[in-house]
């Protein structure tokens, strides 16, 4: 299906884009107006855009329904300061409750049952229950339009970070900079409609950064590897990340490989299939060099 955005109603545009651009982290924004009324609302049109200067942006859009503006936007126009509280799984239902459209004078901290904690350099309070929060100064507000659904970018400079002790690695690293344990930050993120996802140890995985010496690239893989019916795109990505095609190592001594070479010697197509299956399973275990040896043994 090919969809031209100009043919869609605003709610339809929002629907498709929010399902496809996901998961999105949630900025739980605490703001204040000149009268001192506090507001707390979640926004998933949010991300980091620069680390030096440290800049994050979130977008309280004009309502698709009636084109009104959000209290959060009104507040930052009056008092250009915000605390962005990160949302973890334990907070998600209360966070959603805070997105109700309470009147401007109603403090969503109270409604959603969160505790206000004094920030150190900005006026809006922090959410005590949040494990990571950022005190920010609003640098600029960039309107993307006057229509319902138009984003209003609140561009924020992060001044102070508050990080809960429990999010750090257990054993203090020797280095000066303390390391965070990603597994301990149980983020939740927003997807399309009512869908959210939870980040935990079961769904986290690592992709080792490509080395600074460039990977050879998929186009440089031998044709029988590149055109394999068995090896997946992820398998090829790992194989192509070596800085040169490895040489066959006489010392590589692997019983399963020996068995394949002996058993299938009379049937080369079957042998190739078995070798690729074995290489694929080695790659699933992160054993790139071993997988290469298995694949090269077919040359």
**Which residues lie near ligand FMN (CB under 6 A)?**
26, 39, 41-45, 59-61, 70-72, 96, 99, 101, 190
Q: Which of residues 60 and 124 has its CB atom nearest to ligand FMN in the complex?
A: 60
Closer residue to ligand FMN (CB): 112 or 279: 112
**CA-based torsion, 23, 25, 31, 37: positive or negative:** positive
CB of 87 to ligand FMN, least distance (A): 7
Please report how close the Cβ of residue 135 comes to ligand FMN at its closest, in angstroms: 19
- Residue 159, phi then psi, degrees to nearest 5: -100, -45
> Would you list the DSSP string of 221-237?
S-HHHHT-SSS-HHHHH
Query: Minimal distance in Å, beta carbon 96 to ligand FMN?
Result: 5
If the CB atoms of residues 95 and 280 are measured against ligand FMN, the closer one turns out to be: 95
Which CB atom, from 97 or from 218, has the smaller least distance to ligand FMN?
97
Q: Give least dist CB 206 to ligand FMN, A.
A: 27
- Closest distance to ligand FMN from the beta carbon of 137 (Å): 19
* Smallest distance, ligand FMN to C-beta of residue 174, A: 39
CB of 55 to ligand FMN, least distance (A): 17
Nearer to ligand FMN, 72 or 241 (CB): 72
The rounded distance, in Å, linking the Cα atoms of 284 and 5 is: 39
Closest CB to ligand FMN among 59 and 241? 59
30 vs 241 by CB, closer to ligand FMN = 30
Q: Which is nearer to ligand FMN, 60 or 125 (CB)?
A: 60
CB of 177 to ligand FMN, least distance (A): 31
DSSP the chain: ----GGGS-HHHHHHHHHHHS--EE-EEEEEE-TT--EEEEEE-SEEEEEETTEEEEE--PPPTTT-PPPHHHHHHHHS-EEEEEEPBGGGHHHHHHTTS---TTS-HHHHHTPPEE--SSSSSPEETT-SEEEEEEEEEEEE--SSTT--EEEEEEEEEEEE-GGGB-SSPPSSSSPPB-GGG--BEEE-STT-EEE--TTT----PPPPSSPP--GGGS-HHHHT-SSS-HHHHHHHTTSSSPPPPPTT---HHHHHHHHHTTT-HHHHHHHHHHHHHHHHHTT-HHHHHHHHHTT-
């Amino acid at each position: 299906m090919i969809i031209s955005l100009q043919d869609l109603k605003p709610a339809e545009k929002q629907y498709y884009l929010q399902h496809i651009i996901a998961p999105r982290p949630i900025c739980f924004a605490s703001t204040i107006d000149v009268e001192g009324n506090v507001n707390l609302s979640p926004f998933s049109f949010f991300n980091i855009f620069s680390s030096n200067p440290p800049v994050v942006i979130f977008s309280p859009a004009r309502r698709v329904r009636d084109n009104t503006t959000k209290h959060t936007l009104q507040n930052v126009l009056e008092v250009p300061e915000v605390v962005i509280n990160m949302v973890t799984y334990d907070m998600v239902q209360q966070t959603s409750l805070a997105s109700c459209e309470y009147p401007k004078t109603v403090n969503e901290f109270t409604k959603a049952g969160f505790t206000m904690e004094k920030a150190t350099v900005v006026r809006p309070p922090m959410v005590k229950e949040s494990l990571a929060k950022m005190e920010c100064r609003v640098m600029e507000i960039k309107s993307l339009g006057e229509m319902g659904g138009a984003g209003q970018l609140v561009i924020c400079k992060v001044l102070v970070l508050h990080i809960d002790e429990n999010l750090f690695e257990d054993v203090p690293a020797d280095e000066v900079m303390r390391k965070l344990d990603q597994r301990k930050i149980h983020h939740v993120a927003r997807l399309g409609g009512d869908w959210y996802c939870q980040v935990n140890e079961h769904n986290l995985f690592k992709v080792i950064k490509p080395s600074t010496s460039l990977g050879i690239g998929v186009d440089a893989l031998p044709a029988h590897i590149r055109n394999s019916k068995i090896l997946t795109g992820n398998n090829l990505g790992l194989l192509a990340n070596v800085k040169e095609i490895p040489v066959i190592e006489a010392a590589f001594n692997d019983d399963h490989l020996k068995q394949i070479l002996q058993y299938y010697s009379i049937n080369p197509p079957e042998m190739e299939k078995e070798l690729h299956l074995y290489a694929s399973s080695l790659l699933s275990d992160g054993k790139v060099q071993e997988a290469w040896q298995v694949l090269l043994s077919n040359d």
